[in-house]
Amino acid sequence: MGRKLFFFILLAAWMWMCTGCSNKEKHYVIGVSQCSDDIWREKQNAELRMGNYFHNNVELRFAAADDSDKRQIEQIDSLVACGIDLLIVAPNQVATISPAIDRAYDSGIPVIVFERKTNSRKYTAFMSADNYAMGRQMGEYIAKRLNGSGRVLEVAGLKGSSPAIERHKGFEDVLKQYPGVTVIATLQGDWTEDTGYDIVKKWKEENPDVTVDLVFGMNDRSAIGARRAFLEAGDSRPLYCGIDGLPGENGGIRLVNDSVLDASFIYPTNGDLVLQLAVDILEGRPYKKETLMTSAMVTHDNARVLLMQTEETMRQEENLDRLHEMANAYLKKLDTQRALTWTAFGGFVLLIAVMVLFYLYKLGKSTLRRERMVNSLWELKSEELPAPESAGADNAPTSESASGQSGAVSSVFFTRFKDVVEARLEDSELSVEDLASEMNLSRVQLYRKVKAVTGASPVEILRTARLKRGYQLLLTTDLSISEVAYKVGFTAPGYFTKCFKEEYGILPGDVRTGNC
Ligand code: FRU
C-alpha cells in the first residue's frame, strides 16, 4: 500500500512537471550580421526587435561589423559556431563576404541575404529594394531638376557593395538620355558622412574653380558630408540629393523638408518583415525566395506629409514599446506568483505524502508487532508466558513481589484458553461468549484477561489460531483449500483466502505450489 502510494505521488509529480513543459514551443536563435552601425541599421535592428515581440520563441543575436570585411567574416563564423538556427546578413561587399556566407549556408543553416548582395546562389532568400531602379529614378529627378543641363558631382557608396554598384549603374544609364547633364566626377566614398566630407573637401581643394550644380550622394549621409565640405569652402551653390529617406531628427525626410537636401529616396529597412520571413522559413511555412521591397522619392512636394506621418508612426511605435514593457513586467509578476503558488502546492502535497507514509509505516509496524506477539505467544510454553500488563485485569497482582505468582496464574489461564480455542477451532459458530462460558468467565472478563496477557483480543487470537491451523493443514494434508477453510471454522472459503493473504502475505494456493 505504502509503495503504491509512493509511486502514485511520483507519477503525479512527473505529470505536474510535464504540464509545465509540454506546451513549450521550439526555441530559435537568429543571428543578424550587419555590415555597418549607423542610423539606417539602428532603425532596422529596432524593427527586428519589435517584430520579435510577436515571436516569443525567437532569440536575436546582433553583430555589427563597422564597415569592416574582416570583422564581418569573423562575426559570421562565430555566430555559426555558436549554433544559430538562421542567419540574416547584409554583406559589406559582394566578393569579400560571400565565402563566409557560403560556409554558413553549407553548414545547413538557412541564410537570408538582406539588402546587399553576394556573388553566390548559396542563400535561402533575398530581400531588398531595387537599387538599380532607384539610381535611375534619382537620375531622372536630377536631370529634370536641372532642367536638362548642369554639372553633377557623384559621391559613390562603398566600392564593392552591391547598392553602390547598382545605384551608379542606374544613374549612369539614365543620364545617357540627358546629354546636357554632366557627371564631372564620381568620388569613391564608403557610405559614411566623414568619408563624404573628406573626399569632397580634397576634391574641392584640387578643383577650386569647377562649378557644381548638384551633388548626388549615394546615401543621405554622404550627401551631408559633401555639403559640409562645400559650405566650409564657402560654396553654397550646389543642391544635394541622397538616398535613405529615414524618418526622425537627422533623417532624410526632415532634411528635405528643411531644404538641407533637395531630395532623397526612401530605402526601406523593413526589419519586421525580414524577421517574419525568417520565422516562416524556420517553421516550414511557404515563403518567397526573392522579395522586392517598395521604395519612393522624397521631394519638397511630399516631405511635409511624409514628415507628419513618420512622426506619428514613431510616436505610436514608442507607445507600442511602452505597452510591451508594461506587458512584460506584468507577465514577470504573474510568473513569479505562479511559481510561488506551485511551490506552495508542491510543498503541501509533499507534506501530505510524508504524513500518509508515516501513518502507514506506524500502522504497519504496530499491526506487525501485535501479530508477531500473538503468534509467538501461541508458540510459547505456558511457563514462559509474560506477566499480565494491565491492572484492569481480574486477579491482577497488587505488588511487585506478586509478579512471579501472577505470571504463573497467567500461564495457567492462557494454556487453558489455548486448549479451549484449539478444541473448538472447527466450530464456525464459536463466539467469544462460548469461549468465556467454557472458561467460566463473563465475556468482558475474558476479553480483559486475554488482552492483558497477550495484547490482543479473543477474536484476534481465535482468527490467528484458525489461520495457523489452516496453514498446517495445507502443508500436511491433501484437503482442498475450501475443505481447509471449513475445517478451521471459516464459513466462506473466499473470506479464508482473504484473511490468509492478510496474515501471511501469500495465497493459500501458494503454500501448495511452493511459491512462498
Ligand atoms: C546603411 C547604408 C545606407 C545605404 C545602404 C547601402 O548601412 O549605408 O545608408 O543606403 O547601407 O547598403
**DSSP annotation string for 72-119:** HHHHHHHHHHTT-SEEEE--SSHHHHHHHHHHHHHTT--EEEESS--S
Mutate to test the pocket of ligand 1, among 32, 33, 39, 40 (most ligand atoms within 8 A of CB): 40
Residue 3 near residue 57 (C-beta atoms within 8 A): no
Q: Distance from first CA to last CA of the chain, Å, rounded?
A: 20
Cα separation of 237 and 38, whole Å?
28
| The three three-digit cell numbers of residue 362, written as one number | 506506524
Residue 298 near residue 262 (C-beta atoms within 8 A): no
Strand partners, 183: 152
Mutate to test the pocket of ligand 1, among 36, 127, 130, 298 (most ligand atoms within 8 A of CB): 36
Cα separation of 151 and 139, whole Å?
13
Burial (CB count <10 Å: 0-12, 13-18, 19+), residue 122: middle
Ligand 1 atom closest to the Cα of residue 191 is: 8
Q: What was the pLDDT predicted at 418? A: 87
Distance (angstroms) between ligand 1 centre and the Cα of 398 equals: 110
Distance (angstroms) between ligand 1 centre and the Cα of 238 equals: 23
Distance (angstroms) between ligand 1 centre and the Cα of 153 equals: 19
Distance (angstroms) between ligand 1 centre and the Cα of 157 equals: 8
Residue 267 near residue 129 (C-beta atoms within 8 A): yes
- In angstroms, what CA-CA distances link 43 with 34, 192, 247, 308, 418? 12, 16, 9, 18, 98
- In angstroms, what CA-CA distances link 406 with 252, 375, 386, 418, 493? 114, 22, 9, 18, 40
Distance (angstroms) between ligand 1 centre and the Cα of 25 equals: 35
For atom 4 of ligand 1, the residue with the nearest CA is 219
Q: What is the pTM of this model?
A: 0.66
Ligand 1 atom closest to the Cα of residue 115 is: 12
Residue 252 near residue 264 (C-beta atoms within 8 A): yes
For atom 1 of ligand 1, the residue with the nearest CA is 40
Q: How many CA atoms, within 13 angstroms, populate the side-chain half-sphere of residue 176? A: 6
Which residue positions in the chain have pLDDT lower than 50? 21, 380-403
For atom 9 of ligand 1, the residue with the nearest CA is 219
Instruction: Quote the DSSP letter at residue 401.
Output: G
Ligand 1 atom closest to the Cα of residue 192 is: 8
Residues with CB under 6 A from ligand 1: 36, 38, 40-41, 115-116, 157, 161, 163, 191, 219, 221, 243-244, 267
Return the beta strands (E) in 353-414 as ranges. none
Gyration radius from the chain CA atoms: 48
Cα separation of 448 and 273, whole Å?
90
Distance (angstroms) between ligand 1 centre and the Cα of 377 equals: 99
For atom 8 of ligand 1, the residue with the nearest CA is 191
Q: Which of 270, 308, 291, 252 is nearest to 138 (CA)?
A: 252
Q: What was the pLDDT predicted at 10? A: 59
Which bin fits 455, alpha (ψ -120 to 50), beta or left (φ > 0)? left
Q: Which strands form 239-241's sheet, in the order they lie side by side? A: 181-188, 150-156, 214-217, 239-241
Distance (angstroms) between ligand 1 centre and the Cα of 60 equals: 21
Instruction: Quote the DSSP letter at residue 391.
Output: T
Distance (angstroms) between ligand 1 centre and the Cα of 488 equals: 101
Q: Which of 54, 107, 113 is nearest to 85 (CA)?
A: 107
Q: What was the pLDDT predicted at 454? A: 82
For atom 6 of ligand 1, the residue with the nearest CA is 163
Q: What angle do CA 411, 415, 419 make, to 5 degrees?
A: 170
**Dihedrals phi, psi of 129, to nearest 5 degrees:** -85, 170
Residue 484 near residue 447 (C-beta atoms within 8 A): no
The bridge status of strand 58-64 relative to strand 28-34 is parallel
Distance (angstroms) between ligand 1 centre and the Cα of 151 equals: 25
Domains identified in the chain and CATH numbers: 28-128+272-293 (3.40.50.2300), 131-269 (3.40.50.2300), 403-513 (1.10.10.60)
Query: Directed axis angle between helix 443-454 and helix 303-379, to 10°?
Result: 100
Q: Which of 109, 44, 101, 102 is nearest to 82 (CA)?
A: 109
Burial (CB count <10 Å: 0-12, 13-18, 19+), residue 218: buried
Residue 412 near residue 423 (C-beta atoms within 8 A): no
Q: What was the pLDDT predicted at 365? A: 77
Cα separation of 256 and 316, whole Å?
23
Number of residues that this document lists for the chain: 516
For atom 7 of ligand 1, the residue with the nearest CA is 36
Distance (angstroms) between ligand 1 centre and the Cα of 176 equals: 26
Residue 97 near residue 72 (C-beta atoms within 8 A): yes
Cα separation of 411 and 404, whole Å?
11
Distance (angstroms) between ligand 1 centre and the Cα of 52 equals: 23
| pLDDT one-digit tens code per residue, 301-334 | 999 999 999 999 999 988 988 998 999 899 999 9
Q: What was the pLDDT predicted at 60? A: 98
The bridge status of strand 290-293 relative to strand 125-129 is parallel
Cα separation of 328 and 385, whole Å?
77
Distance (angstroms) between ligand 1 centre and the Cα of 478 equals: 101
Ligand 1 atom closest to the Cα of residue 36 is: 7
The bridge status of strand 264-266 relative to strand 296-298 is antiparallel
Distance (angstroms) between ligand 1 centre and the Cα of 36 equals: 8
| pLDDT one-digit tens code per residue, 69-103 | 999 999 999 999 999 999 999 999 999 999 999 99
Ligand 1 atom closest to the Cα of residue 162 is: 12
Q: Which of 36, 117, 30, 103 is nearest to 69 (CA)?
A: 36
Mutate to test the pocket of ligand 1, among 97, 191, 250, 266 (most ligand atoms within 8 A of CB): 191
Ligand 1 atom closest to the Cα of residue 164 is: 6
Which contacts qualify for 228-236: CB closer than 8 Å, 24 or more apart? Answer: 228/193, 228/197, 229/196, 229/197, 229/198, 229/200, 229/201, 229/204, 230/200, 230/204, 232/201, 233/201, 233/204, 233/205, 233/208, 235/204
Dihedral (C-alpha) 110, 114, 117, 123: value to the nearest 10 degrees?
Answer: 10
